[in-house]
Amino acid sequence: MSVAEAPGRAEPREAAASRLSRKIDWRVFAFVTLLLVLLYQVAIPFLMIVWTSLKTVRPGEPDFITLTFSLSNYVRAFSSSSFWTAAWNTLLFAGASTVVSFVLGAFIAWVVERTNTPLARFIGTMMVARIIVPGILITVSWILLASPNIGILNLVARDLFGVRNFFNIYSFGGMVWVHSIEMVPLTYLLLSASFQSMDPRLEEASTMVGANNWRTFRRIAMPLAMPAIGAALLLLFVTTIETFEVPLLMGGRARFRVFTTEIFQTTSRTPVDWGLSSTYSVALLALSILLLVIYFRLLRHGESYQTITGKDFRPRRIDLGRWRYFTCALSLLLVFIITGVPLLVMIYASLLPNWQAPGIETFKSMTFANYDSLFSTPAVLMPMLNSTLVGIGTATIVVLIVAMISYFVHKTQFRGRRMLDYLAFAPIAIPSVILGATFLWFYLILPVPIIGTLTIIGLAYLTKYMPFALRFVSNSMMQIHRELDEAAQVAGVPWHRNFFKVMLPLLKPGLLAAWFWVMVHAYRELTVALMLARSQNRTAAVLILDYWEQGSFLKLSAFGVIMFLALLVIVVLSNMLGKRYGVREQY
Amino acid sequence: MRKGTTQRTRARTALAALVVLGAMLSATPRTSAQEALSPNETLYRELESLSPADRQSKIEAGARKEGSVVLIQTVRAELGAGQIELFRKRYPYLKVEWTSDLGSPEAAERVYAEQVSGRRLTDAINVSISDLSELLARNFLARYATPARQAVLPQYRRFEDPQNRWVLSFWSDRGMSYNTNLVRAEDAPKDWMDLCKPAFKGNVSFDPVQARFIGGLYTALGDKVFDFFRCMGQNDPIIQRGPTQRVELMLAGDHMIVGDSYLYQGLAIKKRTPSAPYAMVLSAPIIASMGAVAINRNAPHPYVAALFADWMVSDEAQTYLADQLRGPVTLKHPYLPADAKLVETPDIPKPVMDQLIDAWLKDVEKKR
Amino acid sequence: MISVAGLGKTFQSKSETVHAIRDVSFEVAAGEIVTLLGPSGCGKTTTLRCVAGLEKPTAGSIFINDRPVVDSKHDVFVPPHKRNLGMVFQSYAIWPHMNVLENVAYALEGRGMSKADMRAEAMRALDTVQMAHLSDRPAPRLSGGQQQRVAIARALVGRPQALLFDEPLSNLDAKLRMEMRKELRRLQLQIGLTSIYVTHDQSEALAISDWIILMKDGQIVERGRPVDIYCRPKKVFTAQFLGATNLFPGTLVALDGQRARVQGPHGDLIGVLSDPELRIGAPVQVSVRPEAIRMASSLGGTGQADANQIAGRLELAVFAGNAVEADVRVGEAKVLCLLDHDADLKADRDVVLTFAAEDTLVLANE
């Protein structure tokens, strides 16, 4: 009765292998190179962290490379109450942020993908557009909005209702709010993808046997979405655990310390207590890895759900009736808060001669002086250029590497190909603070003169962004039939030619998505860039932090607006290029 | 021992990467025996015997040959950049690479890290001398005796190093400043203990733990400092990174008093925007810390480093400092009155310092 | 009984209005199975989904056992979960997070039945499709055919007023499809449920239906009993869609009751008139099924009074198991013939094709 797997699937490949052994060598060569690159980029940082945590001397000291280990760092860490406070706070912060961003992101994803709410496409686009607003600007803009005494909202509340300091952004709630807002687009992306891939027939089948919308949702849609939801929650949690910007800018004043700020603190004292900071890092790594193992299991579970569904369909949209105007209004409000508010605050602040609440006087006094002073400082141009170079460069290389990885993982039978997958995904567990510090240390020890250049930042980004790019590209790769590759092999097309001429064009949608994601994030990244910054390789985000610490909020805002516009130009231009020189996206 | 290493790693292929790493590590140059003079120091020793004119021309000739230099300037903002710019103009044939993103402790740490791992990148740093202790302990700084330091005013002479491992270049002051819109002059704090007044609850800001500042408080207050920490902590201080930022915030009305402000910052803002509601508290002891240029013992460009150290005490550099409201070491202070009570951060014994830091973290930051 | 009248469904795209179906009317008598047949995009699935309630038609009405479920004039629309219909989907839509029994028992939820009763009913339904022995197997571990059976059991278990099949066999391989086709027919005869069946496979439609409704471009082309519609199609499209056919163009020149004479480039042909409306002088198409054609090496000697004969040249003959397929060139046209096993396979020779007048249909030119 069962449909047998088509026998001899591997045959054409083997035939090709024997006939075209010279071409296969190319593949082996590429595979081995890739494995070595990954070991270098991923395994060494991991090793460095664990190794350092077991050492009582700093990296570089003669005793550092001996095989004598000590657990004294662990004893020190575990016996200090600040370790446990940081641990508890990290979990609390991550838990709360995950919940808030999930609720908001899931609501919008549901509205956009599964209901007949008007303007759904616009709402979805605006959600994704938020990704190009740098995270540090979002944090800064919310501080400007809801800081006690000087925040716009507080000033307005004072003027209108006579309430003093209604909001205090420097609080646990404030931190959770800002970080959640920052993560909502990611939540949205993760969930809308899985909402789209749900077979509507499964829900229609439920309707046909007499179940109403609510039971269909509760018994069919929800359980089916559970693996994807669980995976999204875990990814959000892991992302929060390693986040740095919000705890750095707000955590100090909120008296709320998490692991990443503790690590940063131990790395900014003289002499740096590398042993202790590595131990904190190992604790963080262990937690992240545990969560990621669960994440992978959930993902596999979810895939088993998808094996028997049909191929092409549009997701079922629920007719909300008159409620759809309500969902539309609510989503627009959220989009406004998430995407619009930070931008508006930035633009507002960038036009002020000095900080003040909005009012008629304020608008009269607006000026372009901040922009003028920016453009008259030569130091502004270089970070912008650096960010552009590092963004585009990293994205291009990451996407190429990731395409190869997912090719080997999904389209070949090489032994050890799973290893590529795990190696490329593992860095998601490394917090940026640690990643930056590790790369700095590694290249201090290694006599390769790249410290202070964009190369070292690019190398660190390569490790940092592979996991995200891999998710985008793997999904596209799985949808390409193996036969396409096999056909090229049988036809005697050399492997590398086939890879560039057949695979890459077929992967275009996934590659583009990955490229944009990495480019935008590398462009705006702060933490790693901060750890690796020297005079010549400062990036735009580092300059923003610099302005922040100097208290030049208005100049910062002007710079933020320019940075946003520059990024927008890059995105639009590359999108046009992609459309023009790419192949058709439908196959 | 290396043989043992190889054997063990051979047994476990998982550690193969380590061998590679280990080999690379052992191949890197390492600092020589602690007490011997480094080539740079020998060179500087030779300079001592020359006449001032010969000395200067030899240094400049050497600098020309080296052609470039890597500096870390921890004096923040425009001042740091301006000073470097002047240096560049003075010696246009030099390629000056420099960073000012780092705080003084981070700059010291960077040199420390480079030395430990055998890299030679940074030539000289301009930092607070209290951050040099680790570098001194490991003998990472070059001994450089220079006639230029004769210009240093007598009252600062006691901060010089008998072994010439730094050249005094500036000093900075930290004290209380407040927003005159929020605090009337008659209500303003007169002394440190006044910060504990209920009127200032939740309205006084500090940086997270900073040994230099805390040590200064200890010198000013003695054992009473522990009482101060306790009552300050009960008054809900704002702990936020970035002294410049906090002065801006304070002036914008975010809070009333910056407890550890670099006093010049508010004055600089006032110069730009005369209406800024800024006032300093000069009646309480002001915590001063000395800054100096220290040269990397293994600086790749010893001549330019020497040139830079000398230039930093020149009239040109010092006048610029004073113009920028920072404390010069060869000239009169630009704004502090002669009778201001200054306390310096002396060498506080480590156990006491640890105790102070613990108390600060526990009582003020409420961290432990 | 299901009665559909004047059903229409339009989709609004950016620039134009697309009519997915237009003025579709038909009836399904109680206990009968009616097949909606047609090429993809003909509107058959849309029609079925309108009956199911998964699509809201823009015009027309649907009555199920005399109860209006859709009446666009009176703004009546009964949501699908209140129509009490059973549906089998093309992709089966087996819920992957449940096992076989749960999949079927779920259909009984919300009817105030006890757990035990639900279980028993579900097992009975599974028994009908011979899946009772796999009741606790998780859904993702079922083969295509097994999923198919579970889907049917699930559709049956709630004792629906009618069953709807949306291309239920198209995802199975050829052999299994043949088996399931018979089994479905047997099951339908056994339980006697009113059914609508959608497919694009003509042989499936012929095998399974009481009535076939042929659709094209959102409209009904022709309807009839399987035998009639296959043997006596009234439209060229029907003749072409239901099995292979050979067409010869011509003009109607003479009529003798049912017999018609057609003059064309292939000479005079005699056939049965399919459409009584046709008048002399009308342009027509003459349709002959490949299996109705005999092949001889020379003219004459057919032994039949009104047999048609056409001379041609055998270009290629291939052995196809149960028959020999031959391509014969006749003038510009190529004629397909299905011949006996013992036919001479030698190509490139002149032959004469013979077919009886009663096997020849004269259809209106479209």
Contact yes or no for C199/C167 (Cβ under 8 A):
yes
- Candidates C14, C91, C103, partner chain A, best to mutate (most A CBs within 10 A): C91
Q: DSSP of A99-123, one letter per residue?
A: HHHHHHHHHHHHHHHHB--TTHHHH
Higher pLDDT, C14 or C243: C243
The answer to whether C81 contacts A309, with C-beta atoms less than 8 Å apart, is no
> Which of C236, C252, C275 is the last residue before a domain boundary?
C236
Percent of chain B predicted with pLDDT > 70? 89
pLDDT digits (tens, 9 = 90+) for A449-488: 888 889 999 999 999 999 888 877 887 777 677 777 777 7
Which tokens hold the place of C104? 């079927």
- Residue in C81, C165, C169, C172 to test binding to A, most A beta-carbons within 10 Å: C81
Which of B99, B244, B252 is opposite residue A550, by nearest beta carbon? B244
pLDDT in tens, C64-96: 999 999 998 888 899 888 899 999 988 888 888
**Are C293 and C332 in the same domain?**
yes
Residue-wise pLDDT tens digits, B110-136: 888 888 888 888 999 999 888 888 889
Q: Indicate which of A69, A85, A270 best probes the interface with B, i.e. most B CBs within 10 Å of its own CB.
A: A270
Number of domains in chain C: 2
Q: At what angle do helices A323-335 and A81-114 cross, to 10 degrees?
A: 140
Paired sense of beta strands B342-344 and B204-206, if any: unpaired
DSSP C96-145: TTSBHHHHHHGGGTTS---HHHHHHHHHHHHHHTT-GGGTTSBGGG--HH
Q: Is the pLDDT of residue C216 over 90?
A: yes
In a shared domain, residues C290 and C347: yes
The pLDDT tens digits for C112-159 are 889 999 999 999 999 988 899 999 998 888 888 899 899 999 998 988
What does DSSP assign to residue B188? S
Q: Do residues B140 and B223 share a domain?
A: no
Segment among A35-44, A157-166, A207-216 with least mean pLDDT:
A157-166
pLDDT at B232: 94
Contact B238 A551 (CB under 8 A): no
Please give the pLDDT value at position C100.
94
pLDDT mean over A259-285: 81
The pLDDT value recorded for residue A391 is 93
- Is the Cβ of A56 closer than 8 Å to some Cβ of chain B? no
Model confidence pLDDT, tens digit, residues A160-187: 888 877 888 999 999 999 999 999 988 8
User: Does residue B105 fall inside a structural domain?
Assistant: yes
Amino acid A265: pLDDT: 78
- The closest CB to that of A215, out of C96, C110, C151, belongs to C110
Q: Which residue of C has its CA nearest to A203?
A: C93
Tell me the CATH number at C31: 3.40.50.300
Among the partner-chain residues A205, A212, A306, the one whose CB lies closest to the CB of C93 is A205
* Least Cα separation, residue A141 to chain C (angstroms): 39
> Are the beta carbons of B24 and A447 separated by less than 8 Å?
yes
The reply to whether B7 falls in a domain is: no
CATH number at residue C343: 2.40.50.100
Domain encompassing residue C248: 244-364
> What type of residue sits at position C141?
R
Mean pLDDT (chain B, rounded)? 85
Calculate the average pLDDT of chain A.
Answer: 82
**Does position B303 have pLDDT exceeding 60, yes or no?**
yes
The residue with greater pLDDT, A166 or A22, is: A166
Contacting residues of B for A265, CB less than 8 Å apart: 208
pLDDT bin (cut points 50, 70, 90) of residue C348 is confident
Do C57 and C188 belong together in one domain? yes
Q: Where are the alpha helices (DSSP H) in B253-323?
A: 263-272, 302-312, 315-323
Does A303 have pLDDT greater than 70? no
Identify whether residues C111 and C218 lie together within a single domain: yes
State whether C203 and C281 are in the same domain. Answer: no
Q: Which residues contact B128 (CB under 8 A, 6 or more apart)?
A: B74, B104, B172, B212, B289, B290, B291
**Model pLDDT, residue A311:** 47
Q: Sort out which chain A residues have CB atoms less than 8 A from B25's CB and list them.
A: 60, 64-65, 445
| Residue A580: band (very low, low, confident or very high) from pLDDT cuts 50, 70, 90 | low
User: Nearest CA to CA, how far is A534 from chain B (Å)?
Assistant: 6
Calculate mean pLDDT across residues B291-311. 94
Quickly state the pLDDT bin for A568 (edges 50, 70, 90): confident
pLDDT at B345 over 50: yes
Are B155 and B253 contained in the same domain? no
B181 or A65, higher pLDDT: B181
The amino acid sitting at A239 is T
Return the pLDDT at B122. Answer: 92
Of C232, C256, C259, C254, nearest in space to C243 by CA: C232
Local confidence band at A587 (pLDDT 50, 70, 90 cut-offs): very low
Nearest CA to CA, how far is C232 from chain A (Å)? 37
pLDDT greater at residue A379 or residue A181: A181
C128 and C232 together in one domain: yes
C84 touches chain A (CB under 8 A): yes
First vs last C-alpha separation in chain B: 43
User: Within this chain, do residues B228 and B298 fall inside the same structural domain, yes or no?
Assistant: no
Confidence of residue B1 (pLDDT cuts 50, 70, 90): very low
To the nearest whole angstrom, how far is the Cα of A250 from the nearest Cα of chain B? 8
Regarding whether B238 and B360 lie in a shared domain, the answer is yes
Q: Does B353 touch chain A (CB under 8 A)?
A: no
- The ipTM, to two decimals, is 0.81
Spacing of C-alpha C314 from chain mean position: 33
pLDDT tens, position by position, A388-437: 999 999 999 999 999 999 888 888 888 888 888 888 988 888 888 888 88
Contact A505, A558 (CB under 8 A): no
Name which of C36, C76, C39 is nearest C57 in CA terms: C76
Dihedral of CA atoms A53, A54, A60, A63 in degrees, nearest 10, equals 160
Q: What is the CATH number of the domain that holds B317?
A: 3.40.190.10
Both B235 and B257 in one domain: the answer is yes
Q: What is the pLDDT of residue B25?
A: 46
Structural domains of chain A in order of their starting residue, each with its CATH number: 20-70+368-582 (1.10.3720.10), 83-306+318-355 (1.10.3720.10)
Q: Enumerate neighbours of B (3 or more CB pairs within 8 A).
A: A
**Domain region containing B252:** 172-288+337-364
Q: Which of B8, B25, B210 to mutate to test the interface with A (most CBs of A within 10 A)?
A: B25
Pick the range with the lowest mean pLDDT from B66-80, B193-207, B290-304: B66-80
CB contact under 8 A, C111 and A309: no
- Measured between CA atoms, how close is B319 to chain A, in angstroms? 24
In 3-state terms chain A splits into helix, strand, coil percentages (rounded to 5) of 75, 0, 25
Q: Are residues B234 and B161 in the same domain?
A: no
> In Å, how far is C52's CA from the nearest CA of chain A?
7
Quick check: C80 contacting A, CB < 8 Å?
yes
Q: Are residues C355 and C226 part of one domain? A: no
Calculate Rg over the CA atoms of chain B. Answer: 23
Q: What is the rounded average pLDDT of the residues A139-155? A: 87
* Cβ distance of B242 and A549 shorter than 8 Å: yes
Q: Is residue B22 part of a domain?
A: no
Residue A6 pLDDT exceeds 50: no
Rounded to an integer, what distance in angstroms lies between the CA atom of residue A153 and that of residue C154? 58
Residues C254 and C214 in one domain: no
Q: With an 8 Å Cβ cutoff, is B112 touching chain A?
A: yes
Mean pLDDT across the stretch A221-226?
84
The length of chain C in residues reads: 366
Same domain, B139 and B234: no
Residue B198 covered by a domain: yes
Mean pLDDT of B163-170: 93
With a CB cutoff of 8 Å and minimum separation 6, the contacts of A35 are A416, A419, A420, A423
Instruction: For residue B34, name the pLDDT band (cuts at 50, 70, 90).
Output: very low
Q: Which of C220, C236, C252 is the last residue of a domain?
A: C236
B23 and chain A in contact, CB less than 8 A:
no
- Average of per-residue pLDDT values in chain C: 88
Q: Please check whether residue B29 lies inside any domain of the structure.
A: no
- Put simply, whether A308 touches C (Cβ < 8 Å) is yes
Q: Are both B248 and B311 inside the same structural domain?
A: no
Range scoring the smallest mean pLDDT among A475-489, A545-559, B22-36, C178-192: B22-36
Closest CA to A516 of A342, A396, A340, A390: A396
Q: Does residue A313 have a pLDDT over 60? A: no
- In this structure, the answer to whether residues C102 and C196 fall within a common structural domain is yes
B341 and B216 within one domain = yes
Mean pLDDT (whole number) for B288-298: 92
Tens digits of per-residue pLDDT, A342-363?
889 999 989 988 777 777 778 8
| Selected residue with higher pLDDT from A176 and A122 | A176
Same domain, B105 and B196: no
Residue B2 lies inside a defined structural domain of this protein: no
C7/C150 same-domain check: yes
Residues C200 and C335 in one domain: no
Look at residue B252 and tell me if it is in a domain. yes
DSSP for residue B38: P
Of B24, B116, B245, Cβ closest to residue A551 = B245
Chain C CB within 8 Å of residue A212 CB: yes
Rounded mean pLDDT, B249-269 = 90
Residues C250, C163 share a domain = no
Contact across the interface for B245 and A58, Cβ inside 8 Å: no
Cβ contact B189:B258 at 8 Å: no
In a domain, B310, yes or no: yes
Domain tally, chain B: 2
Specify the pLDDT at position A544.
Answer: 86
Nearest chain A Cα distance for residue B329, angstroms: 25
Q: Which of A202, A211, A305 sits opposite C81 (nearest CB)?
A: A211
